[in-house]
Amino acid sequence: MIEYKKAEQSDIEQLKNLWQECFGDKMDYINLYFDNMYKNEYCYIAKENDTVASMMMFLPATMVSFNKRINGRYVYAVATKPEFRGKGIMRQLEKYATDDVKNMGIEFLTLVPASQSLFNLYKEIGYKTYAHLENESYTDKDFKQYTKETDITQIPLNELDNLRQEFLKSFDEYIYINDTEYIKQELSFLGALLYKVSNEYGNGYILCFKDKDKAYVKECSLSEKLLKSSLEDICKMLECKNIVLKLSQKTLKTINKTPYSMVKWLQHKESGFTENNYQNLMLD
């Protein structure tokens, strides 16, 4: 018989093993989360006898909507052991956890599905698409038509909070995870690089990762002209020939958009999302 409950300390080793089995992450990354972010009160599990069959984390998150702060939870690390899949356990666990946080007065849930099939699944249980990603790739052959003389300076990751708070003021509505310190720990662990960028089109910041000869921009506060005109210098600094932009905002005015995140309201009927919204830098 399946029991739905919050996790206990005695479950942690099973949770780590389930995480590694389902997501394939190395144990040092998993330990980073459990040592610095994990709390039993955040973790809901489905258990059969002594076996953790499924888990999901409900991490504190906030939506700021026209200066109003709304308390929510970020649904993270949803995993079910292969032998327990196809039995509706995850749906029942999500309902159990949702009822629990709803009784606490939590107003919304948000999550970032990993595939299109998961968007369809979460839609069936009440979630709606909230933010999209703009996806564009550029090579060194594309740069010359944009390039302007640009000043790019690497800065410490601990400056991200202040830069990001200023950036978020440009949106009517946005969602963030409350524990910004852990986000910086994760970004540092993953090798994130933070740069200030400026030229005749303005100034801002970019947060990116490098993988061999390719750079991935995870977040940036640059205008489209500033971003494109600085691509060549960014790649020179990173010693790469390709750059991939995955941005949850309307910087590029591109048609290459994919759904990124979803939201489910718990306390009141959802009246629609503003178009000028933002959600990014959720845990990877």
pLDDT digits (tens, 9 = 90+) for 119-130: 999 999 999 999
Q: Which CATH number does 2-130+261-279 carry?
A: 3.40.630.30
Which pLDDT score is estimated for 140? 67
- The total of other beta-carbon atoms located within 10 Å of residue 259's CB is 15
Whether residue 145 is predicted with pLDDT greater than 70 in this model: the reply is no
Q: What is the DSSP string of 200-259?
A: TTEEEEEEEEEETTEEEEEEE---HHHHHHHHHHHHHHHT-SEEEEEESSSSS--S-EEE
Quick check: 77 and 93 in contact, CB under 8 A? Answer: no
Write down the CATH superfamily of domain 133-247. Answer: Gcn5-related N-acetyltransferase (GNAT) (3.40.630.30)
Token digits for 198? 């400026």
Give the mean pLDDT of the chain: 90
Token digits for 32? 């980073």
- Helix or strand or coil: residue 158? helix
Give pLDDT tens digits for 177-218: 999 999 999 999 999 999 999 988 899 999 999 988 888 999
Residue 143: pLDDT band (50, 70, 90) is: low
Residues 210-236 as b or e (16 or more Cβ within 10 Å = b): beeebbbbbbbbbeeebbbbbbbbbbe
Of residues 219, 209, 284, the one with CA closest to residue 240: 209
- The total of other beta-carbon atoms located within 10 Å of residue 258's CB is 11
Phi and psi angles of residue 106, each rounded to the nearest 5 degrees, phi first: -65, 135
Counting Cβ atoms within 10 Å, is residue 242 exposed (0-12), middle (13-18) or buried (19+)? middle
Whether residue 249 is predicted with pLDDT greater than 70 in this model: the reply is no
Which pLDDT score is estimated for 64? 95
Which pLDDT score is estimated for 239? 86
The domain limits of the chain are 2-130+261-279, 133-247
- The total of other beta-carbon atoms located within 10 Å of residue 25's CB is 15
Give pLDDT tens digits for 58-116: 999 999 999 899 999 999 999 999 999 999 999 999 999 999 999 999 999 999 998 88
Residue 242: pLDDT band (50, 70, 90) is: confident
Does the fold of domain 133-247 match that of domain 2-130+261-279? Answer: yes
Percentage of the chain surpassing pLDDT 70?
94
7-32 mean pLDDT:
97
The number of angstroms, rounded, from the C-alpha of 5 to the middle of its chain's C-alpha atoms is 26
- Distance in angstroms (rounded) separating the CA atoms of residues 193 and 213: 15
Whether residue 263 is predicted with pLDDT greater than 90 in this model: the reply is yes
- The total of other beta-carbon atoms located within 10 Å of residue 262's CB is 22
